[in-house]
Amino acid sequence: MNGVGSNTVTETLLRVHGLRKSFGPVPALRGAAFAIRSGELLGLIGPNGAGKTTLLECLAGVQAFDAGEIVLPAGGAARVRLTALLFYMPDGIAPWPDQPVGWALDYALGFFGGQRALLPEVIRELSLRPLLGTRISALSKGQRKRALIGLALLMPQRVLLIDEPFEGLDLRQSREVAAVLRTHVSRGRTVVVSIHQIADAARVCDRFVLLNNGGVVAEGTLNQLTSLAASRLGGVPCGDFEEVFLALT
Amino acid sequence: MRSPDHAWIWLVRKEWRELLASRSWWLFLLLFGPLVGVTFISAVNSYAEASGYRGSAAGVGEAFSPLIGIWAPTFGACELAAAFLLPFVAIRLVAGDRLSGALKLEIQQPISPLSRVTAKGVVLLAGWLIASLAPAAAIALWLSYGGSLHVPELATVVLGHVLNAGLTIALAFTAASITTHPSTAAIVTLGVTVGSWILSFIAAVHGGRWAIAAGYTPTAMVAEFQHGLVRLDVLLIAFTFILTGLGLAAVWLRIGVAARRRTGESMALLVLMAVAMYLSTFVSPSWDLSESRMNSFAPADERALRQIRAPLQIEAHLAPEDPRRADLEQRVLSKLRRIMPKLKVVYVSNTSIGIFEQTSAHYGEIRYELGGRRSVSRVTTLEGVLESIYSLAGIVPSDGSESEFRGHPLPVPPRGAALVFYLLWPALALAAAFFSHRRRS
């Protein structure tokens, strides 16, 4: 499935300008700049160490950034307004490991004021029912990923930032989760995912932000990026998105 | 987005579940009963023997106070638990969120960081109160033996240990929020505890400002409460410590804020703490809630001493490790300070142990100065010191016709205590852990 252009993308929800972040002497973000638009599934694409997770964490306020700004269309970007707009689901976490999945979903709904009406649907879509009584620490990597994506989908925020949503999932599960994400995007949700597997990204996302060495090297739809890559290669067309990525990074 | 008030309630519920899910908490609960049992059984045995049980000299226990004979040692188990068990439970509650990644999720709910820390603190304090069922069982057993109970002095002991637990929790929270790993937090917390003991040791050797600082360590604070003494300055300083600790934890749990800013805020908090503590040292009210009035002079002496308006200065030529100095300080001067806030005490010595100063002509002298009049004595007993002061002030205390504390001897062994603390308590703790685990899953 190629979701490129499958939604009517209009409003810019958030714009990032010159975001910089260093860990000691090591720069992780070098002036990253891009926009998130309403109702899109945006893919942050880049190799390991490109700065995808750092960028998402800076956006979500989970990490402080050194310079740059996050601008909302109405002006300013007070952290409270950003928190009301964005929810970030990190990769590789096992929150509340001694608690069962069902309790974790219920707690997240209560604590964050999530959309309780969505709960049965999310449980069904992500096949979570058999896991509801299982402790989070006892879940496999893929099961945990599905449970946490389910938790993110229940959140009240309009924009979801999901770090590596397909990490730990097999091919079938990846496709199922991609379909679920697309379903929620088609209903008006905006989803930003970071993906280091380029083939997965090409299958799922409407638009792409290509990151390399902490900077955004290109931003656009698959067609726009393909054209840009071809122009960089002197008019030679790229065969697939992997070649586009290599040409632009 | 959920309103902060509702979110806080959810957070408390979650922290409670996390506490119940924590093995460290159940282990703490399991060990606490036998720990209290050991101290209680030993204390009751000693008390019974001193009271004439099994043919020991009857009447020795005449002046015995349950506060010193039973409650101070029994609740001493709480001090041990607060120093060596509670920190691990507290650290687990804070560091667990960071390690599991839950903090990265929860930080996205914009409730105040202090509310987050308070939720953990409230739950942990509730856990401490549940563990306090062990000393409560000791109280019930004591009453069942026909033991005497003076509620104000027991309440003072309990208050002291609750405050001590609060200090431990605040310290452990701070360490767990600043450090990145629980083991580092545990080392920091235990390091501070051991550091406070070292401070007390240095104070015992060098006295002076060290002794003033050591007077506000948790150990010294608990010791005063265990003597039935409530000092407002100690209370204020304990609260300042607790609030600062919780504040620091709140500052450092804001992982989305730059480390430089958090460092600056921490410095500001520490400066505020130092100012508040310094000001608290000028607060003098205190209350002796012990039944035996062990922290006070006889009422007639107190009335007489209150008549003295001029500032009194006492210069004691005694080395820090000289037992006479400890005797003078604990039996006389600590009581005198409560009655005469203008009292100034100066210790003079060239060495820490004093043995080599015995040949000095002035070593051992206690010099008094009151309203320009001076006297010198070598007596360190309560009666001797008071006599010197009365003589300088030119007053004669009225005859003490007040009833004297006669004590509550009780020649009864700790019947059933071993069963309660070594068998029943662990069995109940294990059963509760089992059912809690089953209920969660």
More confident position, B51 or B431: B431
Give the minimum alpha-carbon distance from A128 to chain B in angstroms, rounded to a whole number: 16
Whole-angstrom distance, CA of residue B111 vs CA of residue A246: 44
- Chain A, chain B: beta-carbon pairs less than 8 Å apart: 94
- In chain B, the residue whose alpha carbon lies closest to the alpha carbon of A133 is B441
Going from the C-alpha of A21 to that of each of A57, B153, B226, the distances in angstroms are: 11, 58, 53
> Is B400 among the domain residues?
no
* pLDDT for position A6: 41
> Is B162 among the domain residues?
yes
Q: Testing the interface with A: which of B1, B11, B106, B440 to mutate, by most A Cβ within 10 A?
A: B1
Give the minimum alpha-carbon distance from A109 to chain B in angstroms, rounded to a whole number: 9
A52 Cβ contact list (under 8 Å, min separation 6) = A44, A45, A46, A163, A194, A196, A211
Query: Considering its fold, how many domains does chain B have in total?
Result: 2
pLDDT category, B224, cuts 50, 70, 90? very high
> Is A75 among the domain residues?
yes
For the entire predicted model, the pTM comes to 0.87
Q: Please tell me whether residues B271 and B322 are part of one structural domain.
A: no
Query: Looking at residue B317, which CATH number applies to its domain?
Result: 3.40.30.10
Domain interval for residue B179: 4-288+407-440
Query: Are the Cβ atoms of A111 and B102 closer than 8 angstroms?
Result: no
Q: Is A116 on the interface with B (CB under 8 A)?
A: no
φ, ψ of residue B325 in degrees (nearest 5) = -65, -45
Q: For residue range B26-84, what is the model confidence (pLDDT) as tens digits?
A: 999 999 999 999 999 999 999 998 888 776 655 554 468 899 999 999 999 999 999 99
Say what the alpha-carbon torsion angle B217, B219, B225, B227 is, to the nearest 10 degrees.
-120
Whole-angstrom distance, CA of residue B109 vs CA of residue A84: 9
* pLDDT for position B137: 97
Residue in A93, A107, A156 closest to B101 by CB: A93
B263 has a pLDDT exceeding 60: yes
Whole-angstrom distance, CA of residue A224 vs CA of residue B276: 63
Looking at chain B from residue 94 to 113, which residues have their Cβ under 8 Å from any Cβ of chain A? Answer: 97, 100-102, 104-110
Backbone torsion region of residue A84, taken as left when φ is above 0, otherwise alpha when ψ lies between -120 and 50, otherwise beta:
alpha
- In chain A, the residue whose alpha carbon lies closest to the alpha carbon of B15 is A96
Q: Testing the interface with B: which of A19, A20, A65, A111 to mutate, by most B Cβ within 10 A?
A: A111
Residue whose entry in the numeric block shows the structure tokens 């999530």: A114
B198 Cβ contact list (under 8 Å, min separation 6) = none
Q: For residue range B288-303, what is the model confidence (pLDDT) as tens digits?
A: 999 988 899 988 899 8
Q: Is B373 on the interface with A (CB under 8 A)?
A: no
- In chain B, the residue whose alpha carbon lies closest to the alpha carbon of A63 is B256
Q: Please tell me whether residues B160 and B71 are part of one structural domain.
A: yes
> Is A64 among the domain residues?
yes
Give the minimum alpha-carbon distance from B13 to chain A in angstroms, rounded to a whole number: 9
Query: Are the Cβ atoms of A61 and B107 closer than 8 angstroms?
Result: yes
> Is A5 among the domain residues?
no
Looking at chain A from residue 165 to 204, which residues have their Cβ under 8 Å from any Cβ of chain B? Answer: none
* pLDDT for position A3: 36
Q: For residue range B106-153, what is the model confidence (pLDDT) as tens digits?
A: 999 989 999 999 999 999 999 999 999 999 999 999 999 999 999 999
Query: Looking at residue A57, which CATH number applies to its domain?
Result: 3.40.50.300
> Is A7 among the domain residues?
no
Q: Please tell me whether residues B305 and B174 are part of one structural domain.
A: no
Q: Please tell me whether residues B303 and B284 are part of one structural domain.
A: no
* pLDDT for position A44: 95
- Strands laid side by side in the A215-220 sheet: A86-89, A159-163, A190-195, A41-45, A207-212, A215-220
What are the chain B neighbours of A54 within 8 Å (beta carbons)?
A: none
* pLDDT for position A197: 81
Query: Are the Cβ atoms of A107 and B10 closer than 8 angstroms?
Result: yes
- One DSSP character per residue, A136-164 reads GGGS-HHHHHHHHHHHHHHSS-SEEEEES
Query: Are the Cβ atoms of A107 and B109 closer than 8 angstroms?
Result: no
Question: What stretch of H or E contains A183?
Answer: helix A171-186
Q: Is B401 on the interface with A (CB under 8 A)?
A: no
Q: Is A89 on the interface with B (CB under 8 A)?
A: yes
Domain interval for residue A43: 12-248
Q: Is A113 on the interface with B (CB under 8 A)?
A: yes
Q: For residue range B163-217, what is the model confidence (pLDDT) as tens digits?
A: 999 999 999 999 999 998 999 999 999 999 999 999 988 887 777 778 888 888 9
- Of A196-200, A202-206, B381-385, the poorest mean pLDDT is in A196-200
State the complex-level ipTM: 0.91
Mean pLDDT calculated for residue range B270-299? 92
Residue whose entry in the numeric block shows the structure tokens 């240095």: B202
State the first-to-last Cα distance of chain A, in angstroms, to the nearest integer. 25
Q: Please tell me whether residues B347 and B272 are part of one structural domain.
A: no
Q: Please tell me whether residues B305 and B348 are part of one structural domain.
A: yes
Query: Considering its fold, how many domains does chain A have in total?
Result: 1
Q: Is B303 on the interface with A (CB under 8 A)?
A: no
What are the chain B neighbours of A110 within 8 Å (beta carbons)?
A: 2, 6, 10, 13
Q: Please tell me whether residues B199 and B69 are part of one structural domain.
A: yes
Residue B51 and residue B411 in contact, taking contact as beta carbons nearer than 8 Å:
yes
* pLDDT for position B404: 74
> Is A2 among the domain residues?
no
> Is A41 among the domain residues?
yes
Q: For residue range A134-149, what is the model confidence (pLDDT) as tens digits?
A: 999 999 999 999 999 9
Query: Are the Cβ atoms of B105 and A95 closer than 8 angstroms?
Result: yes
> Is A18 among the domain residues?
yes
> Is A186 among the domain residues?
yes
Q: Percentage of chain A with pLDDT > 90?
A: 69
Give the minimum alpha-carbon distance from A20 to chain B in angstroms, rounded to a whole number: 13
Q: Please tell me whether residues B38 and B71 are part of one structural domain.
A: yes
Whole-angstrom distance, CA of residue B399 vs CA of residue B273: 46
